[in-house]
Structures are given as C-alpha cells and as structure tokens.
Amino acid sequence: GAGVSQSPSNKVTEKGKDVELRCDPISGHTALYWYRQSLGQGLEFLIYFQGNSAPDKSGLPSDRFSAERTGGSVSTLTIQRTQQEDSAVYLCASRPSGNTEAFFGQGTRLTVV
C-alpha cells in the first residue's frame, strides 16, 4: 500500500527484554516522527527525523530508547530493558517536504508483562 506501514502490529514482551519496532514511511517523505500513546493519554512526541539533519531526540523518555533512520527511509525504534511503563501504542508518521500534515501508520501496540 501507499501508506505508512508499521510492524509488528502487536508485540508482547517480558520485562527486561529489548524490542525493535519498525516503520516504513511513505516513499519520498523527508520527515519521519515517532509518537506514543499510553492508555488514556494523548500523543507523546518521541523523536523527529528530517532529511539528513540531526534528529530531534528531545522526546525520548530515557536512554533505553533509541531510534535510527537508514538511508532516509525505514526507521527502527529500539527500547532496551523494557519496563511495564513502556506499554503503549507506538505510532510512526511521515510528512513530505512542504506539507503541513503528517500521515500516521496504524501503530504498534507494545505490552510489557
């Protein structure tokens, strides 16, 4: 499809394990975002990639969280030593240059047990 694709859709992991979440943005979109939505909360900004510029990591909640974007396309969000409070829906979005709005994927629901 032509939309933002995230995988896996659902992930259940044990506390202390590492997880990787993948985002395939819309082809040609230069900006890529990661957000998360915890139960009953709004969308919390995590990280923003724009072209070849240094990413804005100001929203990452701890050093257990990291993200990379390879070749200006696919992005991976990695959470090390997962904790129960990391349980949330992780949303990826991409935006073409010159556009105001971003397009979101369906999200990855992460459950840490």
Partner 1 sequence: DQQVKQNSPSLSVQEGRISILNCDYTNSMFDYFLWYKKYPAEGPTFLISISSIKDKNEDGRFTVFLNKSAKHLSLHIVPSQPGDSAVYFCAAIPTSGTYKYIFGTGTRLKVLA
According to DSSP, the residues that pair with 35 across neighbouring strands are 45, 91
> What is the rounded distance in angstroms from the CA atom of residue 111 to the CA atom of residue 87?
5
Is residue 69 within 8 Å of residue 32, measured between CB atoms?
A: yes
| Binding piece for partner 1, criterion CB under 8 A, among 13-21, 39-47, 64-72, 78-86 | 39-47
> What is the rounded distance in angstroms from the CA atom of residue 29 to the CA atom of residue 19?
25
Residue number, 41 or 83, with CB nearest to partner 1: 41
Q: Residue 21 interacts with partner 1 (CB under 8 A)?
A: no
Q: Residue 35 interacts with partner 1 (CB under 8 A)?
A: yes
Q: Residue 25 interacts with partner 1 (CB under 8 A)?
A: no
Q: Residue 45 interacts with partner 1 (CB under 8 A)?
A: yes
- What is the closest distance, in whole angstroms, from the C-beta atom of residue 51 to partner 1 in the complex? 11
> What is the rounded distance in angstroms from the CA atom of residue 98 to the CA atom of residue 67?
24
Among 11, 43, 76, 80, binds partner 1 (CB under 8 A): 43
